[in-house]
C-alpha cells in the first residue's frame, strides 16, 4: 500500500451536492459530501447502487455539473472555472472508466486512442515525437509494441483497460478518478491491473480516488475509505481499521455481507432487511433508518451529521459510539 | 441501478500469434459476399455505372437526340438507314427505335448517365446536409434539436411531387432545379437516422472519455460520433439513390423534370405512353432499365444492412 | 436419498462458426447426488455456461453442438432424447436461472402470471390452482402474495431475481442450475438472495449447480466445487478442502490473485499470461504456459484425472509423472 506524503491535501471537497430534476421531484444523487485526499494517496469510495459514488467522481471532474458545494484542486476552485481554464485543469485530473468495452472508441486504433489527449492539448509536435510518446506510454502499462495499430475489439478486457490507463496518463495528471476500473475484468486479470495501478502510483506520485463496490479490492488498494449510502458519506476510516471495527450499522452490514471464502458454509452475516430507499426527495432523518436495527426516534426525524468517533474516524450515526 | 453485468471476455477475439488479423473491411466484404442477390445487384449497378461513364464510346449524344423520323418505331434487332444529311449508313437498332426514330439502347445508356448523376449528387447533398443537421440536433438537444426536427417534420409532411412542383413553378423546369428538389426532399431521412444514431452513441463511455480529455464539441461530433454512425447512413444512402432515381423519372414523366430531348428514362416512358399497343418496345425497355437499376440498388442496400449489422454475426 | 441424480460423463461441446471451431467444453465429468450442491468456478471462457446450456439443451442451434459424452439425468441420457421430451424436463425437473434479472422477466406480464405459466406448461395445475401456487411461491421467496398482480418494472433488481427463483422452483425441480445469479446485484442484496437460495434448497431438497467466478459466493452455498479452466475441470472436491489446500496450480493461482478481506496482502500475485485460444487444441497440459511449476513433460503429455480420497485433480504432479512442488498447506 502506498504511504502518502505529509503535504497539503491535493483535493478538498466540501459540501458537494448534485441534484437531478425528475418529474417526481429532486433526485439527491450526491448530498453534502465532504472529504480530502492527500497527494500520492488513495481514497476508496464504496457503496451500493444509488449511493452516489459514481456521480461524485464525475462531478469532481465536472463531467457532471455540481449543483452546489466547492471542489478545491491544488487550492484552485474547480467549480468557478470557465471552459477554457477547465480544459487546462483537465490535463491534471483524469478518469479511468469501468467498462473497457464501451470506454474506447471502436473505430480508433490503440495508438490513436492513447495519442488523442496529446493531440487535443497540442503537447507534442511532429508525428515521430508523438509516436515515441505513445510507445513510451504503452510500455508503461505493459502493452506489447505489436499492438500499436490494433483495434480494441481485437483485444481482451485486461489489455483494453491498460489502453484506458495509458490514455489517462498521457497528459501526466496528478489526480485520477478510477471508476470501478477492475470490476468488469476476470479475476486473474484484476490482479494484474491492480498491481499495475499501484506501481504507477509509486512511480508517478499519483493520487487516486478509487470508486468501487468490491470491498476486498478497496481494502487492498486504499489508504482511507469512505462509505456512501444514498448520496451521503456515512463513515470514513483508514482502510486498515474499517474492516476491524465499524461505527455505522450500514458499514457493518455491508462488510459482513461480503461472501468470504474462509467462512465457507457457515452463515455469520447480518443480513439486512428491506431494499435500498429512493434518493428522490428523501424524507428527513437518517436515510438508513428504515433498514437499521438500531433505529430510534431521533433517527427518523433528524439526519445525523458526520462526527468524529475516534482518531481519523468519522461516522454519521446518532448511536455510533454505542454500536 | 448500476449495471454490473459480468462482462465475458471472449478469448476467441484475443490476438494470438498464429491468427491472421482481418481488417474491418475484409470482414464486411466476406459477409456481404455471401448474399448472392446483393452481389448480383452490385454487378448490375457497376455495369450501369460503367455504361454511364463510357456512354460516349457507344453512342454519341448527338446521335441519340437527333430525329430520324423515317425510322420511327423500328422493331428491335432490325436495321435501317440513317440519313444525317451528308452520308447514309446502315444502323442496327438493337432495342428498336422510339417515336422519333432514335436508338432506344443508345438513349438508355445515356439515360443511365443522367440517372447516376441525379442519384449520386442528390444523395451526396442530402447525406451531407442531413447528417450534419441530425448530428447537431442529436448532440445538443434542447431548442436546437426542436427547431431542426420540426423543420424536418414539415419537409416530410409535404408530398415530394408537390414540393418539386413548387420549386419548378418558382424557379423554372431545369436540371439543376430538379436536383435541388429531389435533394431537399431526401434530407429528412438522413436527419432522422443520424439523430437516432447520435442519441445512442452519445451516452457511450468513450464519448465521456473524450470530454474528460478536454476535446471540444466539434472534435467529438466529427471524430467520435459520426464515424460510429456510418452503417445506417450508408444503407440509407444506397436505398436513397434508388429513390432519387425513381423520383426523377416520376417527375420527368410528369413533365416537371428533365426536358426532352434529353434521354431521361422518365421522359422515354412518357413519350412511349401513347404507343403501348402499337410499339410496346418503346415502353418496355426503358421500363426494364428503371426496374433493374432500382431493384439492384435495393438489393445492395439490403445486403449492406445485413453485412453491417453486428447482431447478425455468426 | 443418496442416489446419483446427475452424471455427466466426458462431455465435449463445440461451437462451430464460419471461421473456426471453439472447443468450449472438453471432456468434463461431474456427478451430483440428490440434494447435493456443486459450485462451478472459473473465469470467462472457461466453459461454465456452455456446460449449463449443454445440460439444458439450450445451445444455440446453428453453432452449438455436443460432440461427445453423455449427460445422465435420473438414468436417461439427455444428449439423446428428442426435443419434446427435453421440453417436459425444462422448468419441471431441471430449472435454470440466469445472470441478468433485468431482462429475464417478460415486461408485459404480471409476475404472478409468469410464475403460473410454468405451472400451466407442465400441466401441474389448472389456471386457478396455478395462480394460487404462484402466490405460495412468492411468499416462499419473501415477497407478499398481493404483489403477484404487479409488473416486473415495479420490482427492484434483488426482488426480480427472487421472482425468477420462484419461477424456477415452482414445479419443485430436482435440479437447479444458477448461472451467476447474484453478480448483477448489490452486495447486501446478494447476501439476502444467497441465503434464500440456501434455505429453499434445503427445504425442497433440490440439487444445485451454482456457476460463478466469485469464490466467496460459491463458498456460501455449495458443498463441493469444480474448478474449470479452458473447458476442463482441473480440480474437484469438497469446497473447504479445495480452497484451503488446493491441488491444482490454477486453483492456487486463483486464490493467490484475489484480494481477500480476511487476509492482509500487500501485493497480489496474478497468474501470468492469458486464457488460451479456445479454437486451438494444444498438446500436453492446457495450463502449462501459465503454470509456475511446469516442466518439459507438461508440454507433451496431457494430464489425466487422478482421484484421491474424494478429490479429483488433473495435473501431472499428482499423477506422479513429475515432481510435486506445491506446498502441502495453502495459507
User: Is the predicted pLDDT of residue A2 greater than 70, yes or no?
Assistant: no
DSSP, residue by residue, A285-317: S-TTGGG-TT--HHHHHSPPPPEEEETTEEE--
Q: Is residue B289 part of a domain?
A: yes
- Mean per-residue pLDDT, B285-298: 92
Smallest Cβ–Cβ distance between B9 and the set A97, A116, A157 belongs to A157
Number of domains in chain B: 1
CB spacing of A261 vs C219 below 8 angstroms: yes
Cβ A259–C219 below 8 Å, yes or no? yes
B1 contacts chain C (CB < 8 A): yes
Distance, in Å, from the CA atom of B134 to the CA atom of A189, rounded to the nearest integer, reads 41
Q: How many CB atoms lie within 10 A of CB C308?
A: 10
**pLDDT at residue number B65:** 83
Residue linked to cell 421430451:
C85
Per-residue pLDDT, C35: 92
CA nearest to C241 within chain A = A264
Collapsing DSSP to helix, strand or coil, B217 comes out as helix
Residue from A52, A102, A185 to probe the interface with B (highest B Cβ count within 10 Å): A102
Q: Which of A59-73, A256-270, C60-74 has the lowest mean pLDDT?
A: A256-270
What confidence tens digit (pLDDT) does each residue in B224-279 have?
Answer: 988 888 888 999 999 999 999 988 888 888 877 787 788 888 888 888 888 888 88
All partners of chain B with 3 or more CB pairs under 8 angstroms = A, C
Residue B152 lies in a domain: yes
Give the minimum alpha-carbon distance from B263 to chain A in angstroms, rounded to a whole number. 44
**C131 assigned to some structural domain:** yes
Residue B312: the pLDDT is 54
The span from the CA of B228 to the CA of C4, in Å, is 54
| Strands laid side by side in the A232-238 sheet | A93-96, A175-179, A207-212, A42-46, A224-229, A232-238, A313-315, A307-310
Summarised one tens digit per residue, pLDDT across range A218-237 is 999 999 999 999 999 999 99
State whether B219 and A87 contact (CB < 8 Å).
no
Cβ-Cβ contacts under 8 Å for C31 (sequence gap 6 or more):
C4, C6, C7, C8
Length of chain A counted residue by residue: 323
CB C189 within 8 A of CB C158: yes
B162 is a domain residue: yes
Instruction: Look at C184 and B11 and tell me if their CB atoms are within 8 Å.
Output: no
Is the pLDDT higher at A161 or at B305?
Answer: A161
Residue B219 has pLDDT above 70, yes or no: yes
As a whole number, mean pLDDT of residues B119-123 equals 94
Residues facing residue C4 across a β-bridge? C33
Look at the alpha carbons of C47, C50, C54, C60 in this order and tell me if their dihedral is positive or negative.
negative
pLDDT at A260 over 90: no
Residue C129 lies in a domain: yes
The CA distance from B133 to B178, in Å, is: 22
Q: Which chain C residues touch A265 with a CB distance below 8 Å?
A: 219-220, 223, 239-240
Strand pairing category for C4-16 and B78-83? unpaired
* Owning domain of residue B235: 49-55+103-312
The string of pLDDT tens digits covering residues B153-177 is 999 998 887 888 788 788 877 788 8
B292, pLDDT greater than 50? yes
C124 phi and psi angles, rounded to 5 deg: -70, -25
Nearest CA in chain C to B2: C184
Q: What residues make up the domain containing C150?
A: 94-170
CB-based contacts of B37, cutoff 8 Å, min separation 6 = B299, B302, B303
Q: Across all residues in chain B, what is the average pLDDT?
A: 84
Residue of B nearest to A115 (CA): B213
Q: Which residue in A90, A151, A185 is closest to B214 by CB distance?
A: A90
Closest residue in C to B8 (Cα–Cα): C44
Residue C255 covered by a domain? yes
Tell me the average pLDDT across A140-168: 92
C140, C170, C200 — which closes off a domain? C170
Domain count, chain C: 2
Domains of chain A plus CATH, in order, are 9-92+173-315 (3.40.50.300), 105-172 (no CATH)
Q: Is residue C165 part of a domain?
A: yes
Locate the chain B residue with the closest alpha carbon to C158. Answer: B1
Q: Which has the minimum average pLDDT: A8-22, A46-60, B17-31, C221-235?
A: B17-31
Task: Please determine, for residue B76, whether its predicted confidence score (pLDDT) is greater than 80.
Answer: yes
Which chain B positions have a beta carbon within 8 Å of C101's beta carbon? none
Mutate: best of C21, C22, C45, partner B, most B CBs <10 A:
C45
pLDDT at A14 over 90: yes
Interface of B with A in 221-240 (CB under 8 A): 224, 227-228
**Residue C138 domain-assigned?**
yes
In angstroms, the separation between the Cα of residue A93 and the nearest Cα of chain B is: 9
Structural domain includes residue C86: no
Q: B6: pLDDT confidence band, cut at 50, 70 and 90?
A: very low
pLDDT at B12 over 80: no
> Looking at the domain assignment, is residue B199 inside a domain?
yes
Q: Please, what is the average pLDDT of chain A?
A: 89
Where does the pLDDT of residue A267 fall: very low under 50, low under 70, confident under 90, or very high at 90 and above? low
Cβ(B73)–Cβ(B282) below 8 Å: yes
| pLDDT digits (tens), chain C, 331 positions | 457 899 999 999 999 987 789 999 999 999 999 999 999 999 888 999 999 999 999 999 888 999 999 999 998 999 999 999 999 999 889 999 988 888 889 999 999 999 999 998 887 778 888 999 999 999 999 899 999 999 999 998 889 999 999 999 999 999 999 999 988 888 888 888 999 999 999 999 999 999 998 999 999 999 999 999 999 999 999 999 999 999 999 999 999 888 888 787 778 888 888 888 888 888 899 999 999 998 888 999 899 999 988 899 999 998 888 888 886 544 4
Range name among A132-141, A266-275, B60-69, B282-291 with the lowest pLDDT average: A266-275
Residue of B nearest to A89 (CA): B214
Q: CB distance C158–A275 less than 8 Å?
A: yes
Q: How far apart are CA C212 and CA A26, in angstroms?
A: 38
* Minimal CA separation from B233 to chain A, in Å: 16
User: Distance (Å) from the C-alpha of residue B131 to the closest C-alpha of chain A?
Assistant: 18
Q: Provide the pLDDT for residue C327.
A: 65
Alpha-carbon span B265 to B245, nearest angstrom: 9
Asked if C22 reaches chain B (Cβ–Cβ under 8 Å), the answer is yes
Report the chain B residue with the minimal C-alpha distance to residue C187.
B4
Q: Chain A partners of B209 at a C-beta cutoff of 8 Å?
A: 95, 97, 103-104, 164, 167
pLDDT of amino acid B165: 79
Listing DSSP states for B202-215 in one string gives: HTSHHHHHHHHTT-
The C-alpha of C45 sits at a distance from chain B's nearest C-alpha, in angstroms, of: 6
Which domain-ending residue is among C125, C140, C170? C170
Residue C55 lies in a domain: no
Return the sign of the alpha-carbon dihedral for residues C68, C71, C75, C81: negative
Residue C300 falls within a domain, yes or no? yes
Which of C186, C217, C257 is opposite residue A187, by nearest beta carbon?
C257
Look up the CATH number of the domain holding residue B193.
1.10.3720.10
pLDDT over 60 at A1, yes or no: no
Say if B77 falls within a structural domain: no
Q: What confidence category does residue B14 fall into, taking pLDDT thresholds of 50, 70 and 90?
A: very low
pLDDT 10s digits, A29-50:
999 999 999 999 999 999 988 8
Binding-face residues of B in 18-57 toward C, CB within 8 A: 18-19
Which chain C residue's Cα is nearest to A1? C266
C315 and C233 within one domain: yes
Of all residues in chain B, the one with the smallest CA distance to A214 is B4
Q: pTM, whole model, 2 decimals?
A: 0.83
Q: What is the ipTM of this complex?
A: 0.83
- Say whether B6 and C99 touch across the interface (CB within 8 A): yes
- The pLDDT-based confidence of A277 (bands split at 50, 70, 90) is confident
Q: What is the pLDDT of residue B295?
A: 94
In this structure, what C-alpha cell is assigned to residue A188?
A: 486473474
Composition of chain C by helix, strand, coil, percent to 5: 35, 25, 40
Per-residue confidence (pLDDT) for residue A59, from 0 to 100: 94
Band of residue B1 on the pLDDT scale cut at 50, 70, 90: very low
Any chains having at least 3 CB pairs less than 8 A from chain A are B, C
C246 contact B CB<8A = no
Q: Which of residues 181 through 210 in chain B touch A, CB cutoff 8 A?
A: 204-206, 208-210
* Lowest mean per-residue pLDDT among A177-186, B61-70, B177-186, C277-286: B61-70
* Helix%, strand%, coil% for chain B, nearest 5: 70, 5, 25
Cell of C35: 440434494
Residues of A (254-293) whose Cβ lies below 8 Å from B: none
- C18/B contact by beta carbon, under 8 A: yes
> What pLDDT was estimated at residue C152?
93
**Alpha-carbon distance values, A157 to A140, B173, C96 (Å):** 18, 60, 27
Residue B147: pLDDT over 90: yes
Average pLDDT score over residue span B72-92: 81
Contact in structure between C294 and C253 (CB atoms under 8 Å): no
When pLDDT is averaged across residues A123-146 and rounded to a whole number, the result is 92
Amino acid at each position: 500500500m502506498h504511504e502518502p506524503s505529509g503535504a497539503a491535501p491535493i483535493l478538498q471537497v466540501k459540501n458537494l451536492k448534485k441534484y437531478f430534476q425528475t418529474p417526481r421531484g429532486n433526485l439527491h444523487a450526491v448530498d453534502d459530501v465532504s472529504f480530502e485526499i492527500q497527494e500520492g494517496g488513495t481514497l476508496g469510495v464504496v457503496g451500493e447502487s444509488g449511493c452516489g459514488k459514481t456521480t461524485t467522481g464525475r462531478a469532481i471532474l465536472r463531467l457532471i455539473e455540481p449543483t452546489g458545494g466547492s471542489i478545491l484542486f491544488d487550492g484552485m476552485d474547480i467549480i468557478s472555472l470557465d471552459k477554457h481554464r477547465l480544459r487546462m485543469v483537465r490535463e491534471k485530473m483524469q478518469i479511468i472508466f469501468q467498462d473497457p468495452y464501451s470506454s474506447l472508441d471502436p473505430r480508433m486504433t490503440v495508438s490513436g486512442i492513447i495519442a488523442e489527449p496529446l493531440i487535443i492539448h497540442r503537447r507534442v509536435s511532429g508525428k515521430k515525437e508523438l509516436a515515441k510518446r505513445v510507445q513510451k506510454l504503452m510500455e508503461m502499462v505493459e502493452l506489447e509494441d505489436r499492438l500499436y495499430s490494433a483495434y480494441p475489439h481485437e483485444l481482451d478486457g485486461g489489455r483494453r483497460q491498460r489502453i484506458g490507463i495509458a490514455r489517462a496518463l498521457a497528459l501526466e495528471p496528478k489526480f485520477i478518478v478510477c471508476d470501478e476500473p477492475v470490476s468488469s475484468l476476470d479475476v486473474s486479470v484484476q490482479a494484474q491491473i491492480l498491481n499495475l495501478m499501484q506501481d504507477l502510483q509509486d512511480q508517478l506520485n499519483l493520487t487516486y480516488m478509487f470508486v468501487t463496490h468490491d470491498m476486498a479490492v478497496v481494502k487492498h488498494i486504499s489508504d482511507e475509505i469512505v462509505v456512501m449510502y444514498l448520496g451521503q458519506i456515512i463513515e470514513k476510516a483508514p482502510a486498515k481499521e474499517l474492516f476491524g471495527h465499524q461505527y455505522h450499522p450500514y458499514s457493518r452490514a455491508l462488510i459482513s455481507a461480503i461472501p468470504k471464502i474462509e467462512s465457507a458454509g457457515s452463515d455469520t452475516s447480518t443480513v439486512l432487511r428491506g431494499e435500498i430507499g429512493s434518493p428522490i426527495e428523501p424524507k428527513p432523518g437518517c436515510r438508513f433508518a428504515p433498514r437499521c436495527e438500531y433505529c430510534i426516534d431521533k433517527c427518523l426525524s433528524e439526519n445525523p451529521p458526520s462526527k468524529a468517533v475516534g482518531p481519523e474516524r468519522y461516522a454519521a450515526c446518532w448511536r455510533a459510539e454505542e454500536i | 441501478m448500476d449495471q454490473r453485468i459480468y462482462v465475458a471476455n471472449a478469448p476467441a477475439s484475443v490476438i494470438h500469434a498464429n491468427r491472421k488479423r482481418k481488417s474491418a473491411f475484409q470482414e464486411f466484404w466476406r459477409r456481404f459476399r455471401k448474399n448472392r442477390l446483393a452481389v448480383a445487384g452490385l454487378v448490375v449497378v457497376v455495369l450501369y455505372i460503367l455504361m454511364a461513364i463510357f456512354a460516349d464510346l457507344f453512342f454519341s449524344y448527338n446521335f441519340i437526340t437527333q430525329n430520324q423520323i423515317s425510322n420511327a418505331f423500328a422493331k428491335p434487332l432490325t436495321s435501317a438507314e440513317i440519313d444525317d444529311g451528308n452520308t447514309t449508313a446502315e444502323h442496327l437498332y438493337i432495342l428498336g427505335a422510339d417515336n422519333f426514330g432514335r436508338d432506344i439502347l443508345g438513349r438508355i445508356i445515356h439515360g443511365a448517365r443522367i440517372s447516376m448523376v441525379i442519384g449520386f449528387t442528390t444523395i451526396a447533398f442530402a447525406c451531407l446536409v442531413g447528417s450534419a443537421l441530425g448530428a447537431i440536433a442529436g448532440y445538443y438537444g434542447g431548442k436546437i434539436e426542436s427547431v431542426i426536427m420540426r423543420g424536418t417534420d414539415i419537409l416530410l409532411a409535404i408530398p415530394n411531387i408537390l414540393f418539386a412542383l413548387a420549386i419548378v413553378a418558382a424557379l423554372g423546369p431545369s436540371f439543376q432545379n430538379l436536383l435541388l428538389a429531389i435533394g431537399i426532399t431526401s434530407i429528412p431521412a438522413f436527419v432522422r437516422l443520424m439523430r437516432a444514431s447520435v442519441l445512442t452513441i452519445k451516452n457511450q463511455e468513450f464519448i465521456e472519455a473524450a470530454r474528460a480529455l478536454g476535446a471540444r464539441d466539434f472534435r467529438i461530433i466529427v471524430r467520435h460520433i459520426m464515424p460510429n454512425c456510418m452503417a445506417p447512413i450508408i444503407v440509407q444512402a444506397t436505398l436513397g439513390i434508388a429513390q432519387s432515381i425513381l423520383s426523377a423519372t416520376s417527375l420527368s414523366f410528369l413533365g416537371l423534370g428533365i426536358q426532352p430531348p434529353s434521354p431521361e428514362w422518365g421522359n422515354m416512358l412518357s413519350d412511349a405512353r401513347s404507343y403501348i399497343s402499337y410499339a410496346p418496345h418503346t415502353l418496355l425497355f426503358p421500363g426494364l432499365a428503371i426496374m433493374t437499376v432500382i431493384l439492384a440498388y435495393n438489393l445492395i442496400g439490403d445486403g449492406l444492412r445485413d453485412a453491417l449489422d453486428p447482431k447478425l454475426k455468426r | 436419498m443418496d442416489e446419483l441424480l446427475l452424471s455427466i460423463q466426458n462431455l465435449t461441446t463445440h461451437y462451430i462458426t464460419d471461421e473456426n471451431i471453439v472447443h468450449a467444453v472438453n471432456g468434463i465429468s461431474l456427478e451430483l447426488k440428490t440434494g447435493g450442491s456443486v459450485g462451478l468456478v472459473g473465469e470467462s471462457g472457461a466453459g461454465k455456461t456452455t456446460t449449463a446450456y449443454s445440460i439444458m439443451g439450450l445451445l444455440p442451434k446453428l453453432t452449438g453442438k455436443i460432440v461427445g459424452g453423455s449427460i445422465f439425468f435420473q438414468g436417461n441420457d439427455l444428449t439423446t432424447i428428442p426435443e419434446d421430451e427435453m421440453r417436459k424436463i425444462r422448468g419441471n425437473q431441471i430449472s435454470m436461472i440466469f445472470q441478468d434479472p433485468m431482462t429475464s422477466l417478460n415486461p408485459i406480464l404480471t409476475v404472478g402470471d409468469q410464475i403460473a405459466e410454468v405451472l400451466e406448461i407442465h400441466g401441474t395445475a389448472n389456471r386457478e390452482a396455478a395462480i394460487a401456487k404462484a402466490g405460495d411461491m412468492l411468499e416462499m421467496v419473501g415477497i407478499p402474495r398481493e404483489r403477484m398482480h404487479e409488473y416486473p418494472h415495479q420490482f427492484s433488481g434483488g426482488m426480480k431475481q427472487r421472482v425468477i427463483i420462484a419461477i424456477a422452483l415452482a414445479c419443485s425441480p430436482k435440479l437447479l442450475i444458477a448461472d451467476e445469479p447474484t453478480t448483477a446485484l448489490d452486495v447486501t442484496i446478494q447476501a439476502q438472495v444467497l441465503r434464500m437460495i440456501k434455505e429453499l434448497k434445503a427445504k425442497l431438497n433440490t440439487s444445485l449447480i451454482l456457476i460463478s467466478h466469485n469464490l466467496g459466493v460459491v463458498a456460501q452455498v455449495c458443498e463441493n466445487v469444480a474448478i474449470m479452466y479452458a473447458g476442463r475441470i482441473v480440480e474437484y472436491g469438497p469446497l473447504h478442502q479445495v480452497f484451503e489446500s488446493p491441488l491444482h496450480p490454477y486453483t492456487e493461482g486463483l486464490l493467490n490473485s484475489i484480494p481477500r478481506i480476511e487476509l492482509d496482502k500487500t501485493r497480489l500475485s496474478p497468474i501470468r499470461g492469458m486464457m488460451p485460444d479456445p479454437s486451438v487444441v494444444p498438446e500436453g497440459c492446457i495450463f502449462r504456459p501459465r503454470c509456475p511449476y511446469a516442466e518439459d513433460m507438461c508440454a507433451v503429455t496431457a494430464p489425466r484425472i487422478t482421484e484421491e480420497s474424494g478429490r479429483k485433480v488433473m495435473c501431472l504432479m499428482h499423477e506422479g509423472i513429475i515432481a510435486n512442488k506445491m506446498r502441502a498447506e495453502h495459507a
